[in-house]
Amino acid sequence: MTKIYLKLNPQVEVIEPAVKGTANVLEACLKANVERVVFVSSVAAVAINPNFPKDKAIDESCWSDKDYCKNTQVIKILLYLCMT
């Protein structure tokens, strides 16, 4: 198997802009007196868990395994695939 070495920093390039952008949207909604906000995140938030039962539907109780994602650098690979 070929290893992919990427010089990406997901914390800086993905997480921080996403958090800041979400906060900006929520602040704008607050100022505009919006009554309800529906937030839709990436499938990566729920779909990357090698220990999740294969016969169970993925729902709001399922979360990606944070340690698994960090150890396998799966986020960097997903980012690379999205950019190609």
Q: Tell me the per-residue pLDDT of 56-77, one tens digit each, with 9 for 90 and over.
A: 877 767 788 888 877 887 767 7
Q: What DSSP letter does each residue of 18-72 carry, written as one string?
A: HHHHHHHHHHHHHHTT-S-------THHHH--TTS-TTSPP-TT----HHHHHHH
Domain boundaries, the chain: 8-40, 42-84
Of the candidate ranges 19-23, 48-52, 72-76, the one whose mean pLDDT is the lowest: 72-76
Which pLDDT score, from 0 to 100, does residue 33 have? 97
- Percent of the chain scored above 90 by pLDDT? 17
- Check residues 62 and 35 and name the one with the higher pLDDT: 35
- pLDDT band of residue 18 (cuts 50, 70, 90) is confident
